[in-house]
A and B are shown apart, each in its own frame.
Chain A
Amino acid sequence: MMPVNDQGVGPPLWLLAELTYRCPLQCPYCSNPLDFAQSKDELTTDQWVSVLRQGREMGAAQLGFSGGEPLVRQDLPELIAEARHLGYYSNLITSGIGLTDAKVDAFRDAGLDHIQVSFQASDPELNNAVAGSRKAFEQKLAMARAIKDAGYPMVLNFVIHRHNIHQMSDIISLCERLGADFVELATCQYYGWAFKNREGLMPSAQQLELAEREVNDYRRQLGDSGSAMKLIFVTPDYYEERPKACMNGWGSLFLTVAPDGTALPCHSARLLPIEFPNVSTQSLRSIWYDSPGFNHYRGDQWMPEPCRSCDEKGKDFGGCRCQAYLLTGNADNADPVCDKSPHHDRILAARRAADHATAGLEDLTYRNANNSRLFFRS
């Protein structure tokens, strides 16, 4: 059994270090907050080292370096070395922009365990249009090969939406050629910039069904050929009738630290009207176990109906708080993905809209500092 304290709270096994909101790409489904450009402060190297040490002491074993684009932090090699020294399994989650063969090797020598490269599509035109960068695709391909050559396990991540969902076979075959070990085909979830752009990103039910069939066919072929490449297809919440057990429960396993040191139970939670603690003024241990922010949605005392009397509340914890907030204006509510939710019609309306959506890539709001300034709270 996992050790828990007297309130039944176990250790944060997963630490996500969002090192920076700076990023050379402009993906319109970025999970960073819409007003990211308002938050310019970044923790210093010493502060990050302290966060890593405290997290490891509490039991965190998986560490993600993410962002923004974590490569823009000049102290990344130092943080990687510290992570290895502490015994973390460290994952670099990157666009590949700013990566070089030399860095790939240097990170490996410093003890980095894994580099995940995200792609936007299987062809350069669409990839670069979504990323808002003309040279992104070639760079990503080159870096995927360098990562493979350096002996890392290779995880390729594709964010899937209505403009690339027809490419499943091409995407998987590209991954096979690159020698990927794991392929994440992650259909957009609608938070941050993706929520803002939902109508222009959400696939129709028919598109989704075709894509799933293509993935399953390919999976069968891979199985027959004895390939170890694993395909992970993440279906969008909006096409489920039951909510996901978001983050395996609020404050249960995951601890995210945002660039300015704000500690969050997930990387979207910043959008909630809840005050979250900061690692620069509070220890990670007291943040995790004692802070009102992290205790806010632990247990089930906070649940209103229909969750309160639901026999599945121990399984899905009422779904996602951020989704409840974005779709109903109250984060206490049941995740509207659930068909028991009185707000489930909002999900159905989004599905209907996806059947008739006509927006092109040019109609999306791209994630950049100029667009971000439009979302500053006055």
Chain B
Amino acid sequence: MAKTPRLRPGFRFQWEPVQNAHVLLYPEGMVRLNDSASAILAEVDGQRNIEQIVARLEQKFPEAGPLAVDVCDFLQDALQQHWVILT
């Protein structure tokens, strides 16, 4: 929880108005993200650690309850896909 995720170099997270979705762009590829993945990646700035990201999301979405498990599951998946790195 003390570790800091950041996007892998060459990966870019951005809003695509035409697709009405956030996407992750990388060399010759694009993933269209769902709402929860987008909300998490929007907080991944290479500065905040996982604990801070969870706290910010819980503040933003109070109705969602505790989010640590969801955030860790997603980041685990994103790590395996090599979308993010941990420092």
Q: With the chains together, A273 CA to B85 CA distance in Å? A: 49
Residue B23 lies at the interface, judged by CB distance under 8 Å to chain A: yes
Please determine whether A62 and B10 come into contact, CB atoms closer than 8 angstroms.
no
Residue A49 lies at the interface, judged by CB distance under 8 Å to chain B: no
Give the residues in chain B near A153, CB-CB below 8 Å. Answer: 8-11, 26-27
Give the residues in chain B near A293, CB-CB below 8 Å. Answer: none
Residue B16 lies at the interface, judged by CB distance under 8 Å to chain A: yes
Please determine whether A155 and B28 come into contact, CB atoms closer than 8 angstroms.
yes
- Interface size, chain A (Cβ < 8 Å): 23
Q: With the chains together, A11 CA to B10 CA distance in Å? A: 24
Q: With the chains together, A13 CA to B27 CA distance in Å? A: 14
Please determine whether A13 and B30 come into contact, CB atoms closer than 8 angstroms.
yes
Rounded to whole Å, the gap between the CB of A328 and the closest CB of chain B is 31
Residue B34 lies at the interface, judged by CB distance under 8 Å to chain A: no
Residue A296 lies at the interface, judged by CB distance under 8 Å to chain B: no
Rounded to whole Å, the gap between the CB of A204 and the closest CB of chain B is 30
Minimal Cβ-Cβ distance residue in A for B20: A3
Give the residues in chain B near A89, CB-CB below 8 Å. Answer: 12, 25-26, 30
Q: With the chains together, A7 CA to B11 CA distance in Å? A: 33
Residue A87 lies at the interface, judged by CB distance under 8 Å to chain B: yes
Knowing A113-B12, A153-B10, say if A2 contacts B19 (CB, 8 Å): yes
Residue A272 lies at the interface, judged by CB distance under 8 Å to chain B: no
Give the residues in chain B near A62, CB-CB below 8 Å. Answer: 25, 28-30
Q: Which of B13-49 contact A (CB under 8 A)?
A: 14, 16, 18-20, 23, 25-30
Please determine whether A59 and B27 come into contact, CB atoms closer than 8 angstroms.
no
Give the residues in chain B near A162, CB-CB below 8 Å. Answer: none
Q: With the chains together, A377 CA to B28 CA distance in Å? A: 34
Please determine whether A181 and B10 come into contact, CB atoms closer than 8 angstroms.
yes
Residue A230 lies at the interface, judged by CB distance under 8 Å to chain B: yes
Minimal Cβ-Cβ distance residue in B for A93: B28
Minimal Cβ-Cβ distance residue in B for A115: B27
Residue A151 lies at the interface, judged by CB distance under 8 Å to chain B: yes
Give the residues in chain A near B11, CB-CB below 8 Å. Answer: 153
Residue B82 lies at the interface, judged by CB distance under 8 Å to chain A: yes
Minimal Cβ-Cβ distance residue in B for A182: B27
Which of B14, B30, B82 sits near A87, CB closer than 8 Å?
B14
Minimal Cβ-Cβ distance residue in A for B28: A91
Minimal Cβ-Cβ distance residue in B for A229: B82
Residue A116 lies at the interface, judged by CB distance under 8 Å to chain B: yes
Minimal Cβ-Cβ distance residue in B for A232: B28
Knowing A89-B12, A151-B9, A153-B10, say if A61 contacts B30 (CB, 8 Å): yes
Q: With the chains together, A61 CA to B19 CA distance in Å? A: 10
Residues of A near any B CB (own CB < 8 A): 2-3, 11, 13, 58-59, 61-62, 64, 87, 89, 91, 113-114, 116, 151-153, 155, 181-182, 228, 230
Residues of B near any A CB (own CB < 8 A): 8-12, 14, 16, 18-20, 23, 25-30, 82
A/B interface sample: 11 pairs, CB < 8 A = A2-B19, A59-B18, A62-B25, A89-B25, A91-B28, A113-B12, A153-B8, A153-B10, A155-B27, A181-B27, A228-B82
